Amino acid sequence: MRPTRNPRRTAVAVSLAAAALLTASACSSSGGGKAPDAAPGITYASGTATPGMVPDGSGPTGMPGMSMPGSSAPAAAPAGPNAVTIDNFAFGPSSLSVKLGATVTWTNHDEEPHTVVADDGSFRSPTLGNNATYTFTFTKAGTFAYVCSIHPFMHATVVVTP
């Protein structure tokens, strides 16, 4: 006697196999196993970029730079007195002093994504991929503690003086 097949069980098995193949193909890299240099971004059909992102022509989407509306991020990662680097799962410097009205730029040099989130809620970056930047202009004096919301052991401060 031949066993009877359950058409529903066969359909489920075929669906699971197809899903596994699609997942495997989506996870494989077409760049010879090398990860892209920048986090993906979104460009609308109209050609406008996702709000808060600044196109700079690098990376697979050309949009790794990020900024808050009303401020702008330079095309190249800035270096200077108002720059914070994210490297080796740490903010550097861990405490930055700036004058009131200064714009601070954070640049993620890690391969892992990070965020910049003020403890008091005064600023919050989107998730920053490798070499992405985030800028914020300080309009109030005070000490602003911040963390990476993905890795809360990463913390630092910006001290704003009049």
* Three-state SS letters, the chain: CCCCCCHHHHHHHHHHHHHHHHHHHHHCCCCCCCCCCCCCCCECCCCCECCCEECCCCCCCCCCEECCCCCCCCCCCCCCCCEEEECCCCEECCEEEEECCCEEEEEECCCCCECCEECCCCCECCCECCCCEEEEECCCCEEEEEECCCCCCCEEEEEEEC
pLDDT in tens, 99-156: 999 999 999 999 999 999 999 999 999 999 999 999 999 999 999 999 999 999 999 9
pTM of the model: 0.54
Domains, in order of start, for the chain: 63-161 (2.60.40.420)
Question: Residue 6 — very low, low, confident or very high, per pLDDT cuts 50/70/90?
Answer: low
pLDDT in tens, 59-113: 333 333 343 333 333 345 556 789 999 999 999 999 999 999 999 999 999 999 9
